[in-house]
Amino acid sequence: MHVTNSINLDGTFYTLKYALPYLKKQGGSVVITSSVNGTRMFSNSGATAYASTKAAQVAFAKMTALY
Protein backbone atom coordinates (compact mmCIF):
# COMPACT_ATOMS: atom_id res chain seq x y z
CA MET A 1 0.00 0.00 0.00
CA HIS A 2 2.86 2.39 0.73
CA VAL A 3 4.09 2.35 -2.88
CA THR A 4 0.58 3.04 -4.15
CA ASN A 5 0.21 5.96 -1.76
CA SER A 6 3.60 7.30 -2.68
CA ILE A 7 3.02 7.23 -6.42
CA ASN A 8 -0.59 8.37 -6.52
CA LEU A 9 -0.68 10.86 -3.65
CA ASP A 10 2.85 12.09 -3.02
CA GLY A 11 3.47 12.53 -6.72
CA THR A 12 0.28 14.52 -7.19
CA PHE A 13 0.88 16.63 -4.09
CA TYR A 14 4.48 17.57 -4.86
CA THR A 15 3.79 18.27 -8.52
CA LEU A 16 1.08 20.75 -7.59
CA LYS A 17 3.00 22.17 -4.65
CA TYR A 18 5.79 23.32 -6.93
CA ALA A 19 3.70 24.06 -10.03
CA LEU A 20 0.93 26.18 -8.48
CA PRO A 21 3.02 29.30 -7.82
CA TYR A 22 4.04 29.38 -11.49
CA LEU A 23 0.52 28.64 -12.68
CA LYS A 24 -0.90 31.43 -10.53
CA LYS A 25 1.66 33.85 -11.95
CA GLN A 26 1.59 32.81 -15.61
CA GLY A 27 -1.74 31.00 -15.93
CA GLY A 28 -2.30 27.45 -16.94
CA SER A 29 -4.19 24.30 -16.11
CA VAL A 30 -3.73 21.16 -14.08
CA VAL A 31 -4.99 17.75 -15.16
CA ILE A 32 -5.02 15.03 -12.53
CA THR A 33 -5.69 11.61 -13.96
CA SER A 34 -7.77 9.57 -11.55
CA SER A 35 -9.89 6.49 -12.22
CA VAL A 36 -13.44 5.22 -12.06
CA ASN A 37 -12.10 3.11 -9.19
CA GLY A 38 -11.92 6.33 -7.18
CA THR A 39 -15.28 7.77 -8.16
CA ARG A 40 -17.93 5.17 -8.80
CA MET A 41 -16.69 1.60 -9.12
CA PHE A 42 -15.91 0.08 -5.73
CA SER A 43 -16.30 -3.61 -6.55
CA ASN A 44 -12.75 -4.64 -7.51
CA SER A 45 -11.53 -6.83 -4.68
CA GLY A 46 -7.88 -6.27 -3.90
CA ALA A 47 -7.94 -2.69 -5.12
CA THR A 48 -8.61 -0.96 -1.81
CA ALA A 49 -5.37 1.04 -1.69
CA TYR A 50 -5.62 1.98 -5.36
CA ALA A 51 -9.28 3.05 -5.15
CA SER A 52 -8.63 5.02 -1.95
CA THR A 53 -5.75 6.96 -3.47
CA LYS A 54 -7.69 7.70 -6.63
CA ALA A 55 -10.63 9.02 -4.57
CA ALA A 56 -8.14 11.14 -2.65
CA GLN A 57 -6.82 12.57 -5.94
CA VAL A 58 -10.34 13.63 -6.90
CA ALA A 59 -10.86 15.35 -3.54
CA PHE A 60 -7.40 16.94 -3.72
CA ALA A 61 -8.15 18.35 -7.18
CA LYS A 62 -11.40 19.88 -5.96
CA MET A 63 -9.74 21.43 -2.91
CA THR A 64 -6.80 22.72 -4.94
CA ALA A 65 -9.20 24.38 -7.39
CA LEU A 66 -10.33 26.59 -4.51
CA TYR A 67 -6.77 27.76 -3.95
Give the DSSP letter of residue 17.
Answer: H
Query: For residue 41, what pLDDT is reported?
Result: 65
CB 57 within 8 Å of CB 34: yes
How confident is the model at residue 25, as a pLDDT?
A: 93
Question: For the chain, which ranges sit under pLDDT 50?
Answer: none
Domain that residue 7 falls in: 2-65
CA dist., res. 17 & res. 47, Å (int):
27
Residue 49 has what pLDDT? 83
- Separation of alpha carbons 61 and 67, rounded Å: 10
- Split into its structural domains, the chain has a count of 1
According to the model, what pLDDT value does residue 10 have? 92
